[in-house]
Amino acid sequence: MAEPAAKTAFAEEALTHLDTLYRGALRLTHDPDQAQDLVQEAYLRALRYQHSYQAGTNMKAWLFAIMRNLFWDRFKGSRKDDVSLDDVGEFVLYEKLRDEGARPEADVLDKIAASEVVSAVDKLPPLHREVVLLVDVEGFSYKDAAQTLGVPIGTVMSRLHRARQQLQKSLYEYALESGIVRPSGLGQVPQL
């Protein structure tokens, strides 16, 4: 059993990663109450198993792994036969927008609201969503993401690739629906 001072120091360090865990849990559960329950349970479990944490290693990755394993146990019954994104096909938003005659960065990215990006991330299947959260949002290396998720680096790369394709496709569809870009041949929406 850890000494009280060591326990407090461990808890304080662990709490510096609370925002990462909370937003990860929120993106996985889509529910603030469930996210708080999940994160609280993850912290209690981390405290219980703090002897298995090696000081100096990546605590954020260790905590995230505990949280996401709890998520899969609690909400998915450990079943990771997730929806496949194999049928997305090759979709490169940049090239698609160029084909539409838009200036991809200035005309489109600058006009997409944060809420639409979050919505596109939320629509990804959980196995793909969590890779985007780790690599794109939290800045994990492929290696750290692979360790956190318990999969080979190649799996991280392929899930990330498919997730980004789906994400770009969702953003493209939003850009079309909202009139930020027009379908081929119609050109750019004039600025008022």
Partner 1 sequence: MRCEECADKLDRFVDRELTNTEALEVQLHLEGCPDCMEHYEFEEHLKRLVKHSCECDKAPTAFRDKLRQILS
Question: Closest approach of Cβ 36 to partner 1, in Å?
Answer: 5
Residues 6+ apart with CB under 8 A from 45: 66, 70
Nearest to 131 by CA among 100, 164, 102: 164
State yes or no: residue 93 binds partner 1 (CB under 8 A). Answer: yes
131 in Cβ contact with 145 (< 8 Å)? yes
CA distance 142 to 133: 12
Residues in contact with partner 1, total (CB under 8 A)?
44
When binding is defined by CB under 8 A, the residue of 31, 73, 99, 105 that contacts partner 1 is 105
- DSSP letter at 111? G
17: its two tokens: 């990663």
Please report whether residue 133 would count as binding partner 1 according to CB under 8 A.
yes
Q: How far is the CB of 77 from partner 1 (least distance, A)?
A: 26
The Cα 78–Cα 62 span in angstroms is 18
| Sole window of 51-59, 64-72, 161-169, 179-187 interacting with partner 1 (rule: CB under 8 A) | 161-169
**CB-based contact 27:67 (threshold 8 Å):** no
Coil/strand/helix, residue 2: coil
Query: Which of 34, 72, 88, 141 forms a contact with partner 1 (CB under 8 A)?
Result: 141
Amino acid at residue number 44: L
Among residue numbers 23 through 82, which ones bind partner 1 (CB under 8 A)? 23, 26-27, 32, 36, 39-40, 43-44, 47
> In the complex, which residues of this chain contact partner 1 (CB under 8 A)?
8, 11, 14-15, 18-19, 21-23, 26-27, 32, 36, 39-40, 43-44, 47, 93-95, 104-105, 109, 112, 114-115, 117-118, 121, 132-133, 135-137, 139, 141-142, 157, 160-161, 164, 167-168
